[in-house]
Amino acid sequence: MCGIFGFFLKRPLVVEDKEFGRRGAEMLRHRGPDGNGEWCDAGKGLYLGHTRLAIIDRSDGASQPMVRKNHVIAYNGELYNYLEVRKELIILGWEFQTSSDTEVLLVAWMEWGKFALDRFDGMYAFVIYDGDCVHLVSDPFGEKPLYWSRLSSGIYFSSEAGVLTELLNLGFEPTGEQVTFFLGMGFFPAPETGFPSLSIVRPSTHLTINQRFQVDESRYWSIPQVTVKRGIIHKPDENDLDRILEVLIESLRRRLRSDVPVGLFLSSGVDSTLLAALIAKELNVDISAFTVSFADGVDESDAAKRVACHFGIRHQVINSLQDLSWQHIPAELRSLYGVPNDNPTVIAVRQMSELIKPSVSVALSGLGGDELFYGYSKYFFLYQHRFAYRYLARLFSRIKGMKFGAFHKLRLAQELFCGDKAWQFISLKNYGLGLMLRSLHHLPDSYIKDFSSDKRDLVYLARDFDLTQTLPGSYISAVERGSMRASVEVRTPFLSRELLAETSKLDQRAFMQYGQKYVLRQLLYRYIPQDLLSKSKQGFVYPTKRYLSIAPKSCDVIRGLPHALCQEIWQNRLNDRYTGLAVRLCVLEDFLSKG
């Protein structure tokens, strides 16, 4: 796990350019405290800087940027199946100078070009120069970030947005549509950031920049498109469960490969508990588990302790109140993300990572299990009410001007079911406040345009959107930015293309028909008594009311948003329905005030 900073200029490099490159790389030192390096082709205007967090092959020979023949790579991430890919390449006649996954990735690119991406199981963002073109590549689920900016002088890229916005003095100038999307979702839709000249490389994307500075973008993988069956629902049998378990165990086995100690982020939920069970019972690996406690929020520490005790795993509870950064949430979020993002989980992840760093440099997370296995409560709600979503929208569209006043249930139904699928989704994401958000002049429909053309029920559209947008834009970003600020690498066994492909073979309705998280629960019950597992999903939720109750200034005037809308949100900020929107106003105000 590392940091990348570099640029490809339209002129030869001078001494000042190299100093500029070193300054950018130094700003990423927290991502790679174990070493740093640089490589440049001054005549062609290319500079690559790298900071290293040494996990696999910690020797100096595996340092970066790494050069083989006419190829050079700067790489951030882990290629989990590097041993298997290495064997293929050795059979083809390649020899290796290190035991690193970096060299395997580079040689694989030299052998197969972009088709090497079809062979990789990993999380990665990398830059490869092949003597002619510069290639920017992201992993399938967007686990590792790579931002890039096109200016008149050339193209700049970095593992973190804040480095580019600061060094290049980029201005934050979001469009009205982007602001509306952020207010509804809490992040910007990739590749957009709200900074006009700054983009993030989207998941599973390959950008090629040629000598004329033309940028070609291609997608090398997409989530499997499943056909939702009708008629009798096929309940997963033991053979189905066995296949899923086999793929998950292999994914976990690969993600335990490390030359440094590995830990586990443990909650009381199904996903991380299942990982703990497989580590202890199937792989027999000695590991330490860590849990954050929220005394004034959702606290899973006691339940997690019981799980760890059951499996004989060392366990440490971290008190979130020990860290006072929650008192400055907007500034903390800006520092950690570099672009607007409302997910304060990043603060807790950073705190937890700082405390575990003395003992482990790699941690496993259950992130992604909810998306692959329809684990969120909203999916269960959408599935249970799928017939209402199909037909009530027509009814409420006819009476959309009617006010239901004190009829709370009818008013809530109008909020949830009125409008097309895109607005139904936005309303559900915001606790039924969709009609209020629809008062905005700029509608974000174009960012979720597939909703209107897809005939499937909303639950499947919501899940696909979360896999492609919410997961990388919010949940992964929170874990990645928080952990890497403390030089800790987080690995996600559920984010596996093979595992997603296996789940896509099953009847998608079965994931919800037999109860929330049915498939994963059935696997977990092979290892623990049912009463040890939490009955309902709690989630990893940061108690933002701490900050909103002491917020030092009003956020009821935000440039580009109606005053009445902002005022309503701010006045109700301690109401559960409005809390998320209030945090988003604070984030927008913070970025807009900084320009």
CA distances to 57, 268, 318, 332 from 294, in Å: 37, 13, 9, 18
* Alpha carbon distance 165, 167 (integer Å): 6
Angle at 402 between CA 398 and CA 404, to 5 degrees: 125
pLDDT above 90 for 541: no
Residue 427 is predicted with a pLDDT of 87
Q: Which two tokens stand for residue 550?
A: 């002491």
pLDDT of residue 454: 86
Residue 443 has pLDDT above 80, yes or no: no
CA nearest 139: which of 121, 117, 124? 124
Q: What number is the average pLDDT over the span 255-271?
A: 94
Quickly state the pLDDT bin for 325 (edges 50, 70, 90). Answer: confident
More confident residue, 227 or 243: 243
pLDDT number for residue 219: 97
Question: CB of 117 within 8 A of CB of 102?
Answer: no
Quickly state the pLDDT bin for 298 (edges 50, 70, 90).
low
**216 token code pair:** 């070609």
CB 23 within 8 A of CB 476: no
Q: What is the pLDDT of residue 376?
A: 94
Do 554 and 585 form a contact (C-beta atoms < 8 A)? Answer: no
Residue for token digits 């090497």?
116
Higher pLDDT, 559 or 492: 492
The predicted model gives 103-107 an average pLDDT of 98
* Main-chain dihedrals φ then ψ at residue 278, nearest 5 degrees: -70, -40
Res 595 pLDDT > 90: no
* Domain ranges, ordered by start, for the chain: 2-219, 238-375+461-543
Taking 70 as the threshold, does the pLDDT of residue 53 lie above it? yes
List the structure tokens of 592: 């807009």
Burial of 551 (0-12, 13-18, 19+ CB in 10 A): middle
For 193-210, what is the mean pLDDT?
98
Q: pLDDT value at position 296?
A: 57
Q: Is the pLDDT of residue 403 over 60?
A: no
* Tokens representing residue 337 in the block: 């993300």
Residue 415 structure tokens: 């909020």
Residue 156 pLDDT > 80, yes or no?
A: yes
Across the range 17-27, mean pLDDT stands at 98
Average pLDDT over residues 417-439: 83
**When comparing pLDDT for 9 and 410, which is higher?**
9
The lowest-confidence range among 26-40, 344-358, 470-484 is 344-358
Please tell me what DSSP assigns to residue 9: E
Locus of tokens 């795993």? 313
Looking at the predicted structure, is the pLDDT value of residue 49 above 90? yes
Average pLDDT estimate for 110-128: 98
**Confidence band, pLDDT 50/70/90 cuts, at residue 409:** low
Mean pLDDT calculated for residue range 348-367: 93
Query: Using one digit for the tens of pLDDT, what is the confidence trace for 212-227?
Result: 999 999 999 999 988 8
| pLDDT > 80? residue 395 | no
Overall average pLDDT of the 490-495 stretch: 98
The rounded percent of the chain whose pLDDT value lies above 70 is: 93
408 pLDDT exceeds 70?
no
> How many helices (DSSP H) and strands (DSSP E) are in the chain?
25, 17
Contacts of 36 by beta carbon, 8 Å cutoff, 6+ apart: 25, 26, 29, 49, 50, 51, 52
In tens, the pLDDT along 561-587 reads 888 899 999 999 999 989 999 999 999
Query: What integer pLDDT is reported at residue 406 of this predicted model?
Result: 46
* Ramachandran quadrant class, 515 (left: phi over 0; alpha: psi -120 to 50; beta: rest): left
Q: What is the mean pLDDT of residues 264-286?
A: 94
* Average pLDDT across the chain, whole number: 91
User: Residue 319: which pLDDT band, with cuts at 50, 70 and 90?
Assistant: confident
Domain 2-219: top CATH class: alpha beta
The predicted pLDDT at position 326 comes to 75
Spatial contact of 146 and 163, defined as CB atoms under 8 Å apart = no
How far is CA 314 from each of CA 5, 26, 290, 307, 486, rounded to the nearest angstrom? Answer: 38, 36, 9, 11, 22
Contact 63, 28 (CB under 8 A): no
CA distance 58 to 34: 9
Question: How big is the chain, counted in residues?
Answer: 595
Give the class (CATH, top level) of 238-375+461-543: alpha beta
Q: How many angstroms separate the CA atoms of 394 and 387, rounded?
A: 12
Residue 522 clears pLDDT 50, i.e. is over it? yes
pLDDT of residue 334 exceeding 60: yes
Element containing residue 337 per DSSP (H, E): helix 329-337
Higher pLDDT, 363 or 451: 363
At residue 534 the predicted structure's pLDDT band, cuts being 50, 70 and 90, is low
Q: What is the sign of the dihedral through the CA atoms of 519, 524, 530 and 536?
A: negative
Q: Does residue 499 contact residue 244 with C-beta atoms inside 8 Å? A: yes
Whether the predicted pLDDT of 539 surpasses 60: no
238-375+461-543 has the same fold as 2-219: no
Mean pLDDT of 124-148: 98
* CA-to-CA separations, 162 to 139, 314, 487, in angstroms, rounded: 21, 37, 17
Give me 44's structure tokens.
């062609």
Sheet holding 362-364, edge to edge: 314-319, 288-293, 262-265, 362-364, 489-491
Taking each helix axis from N to C end, the angle separating 386-398 and 408-417, rounded to the nearest 10 degrees, works out to 100
- The CA–CA distances, whole Å, from 2 to 5, 26, 306, 466, 488 equal 10, 12, 35, 26, 10
Q: What percent of the chain has pLDDT over 90?
A: 73
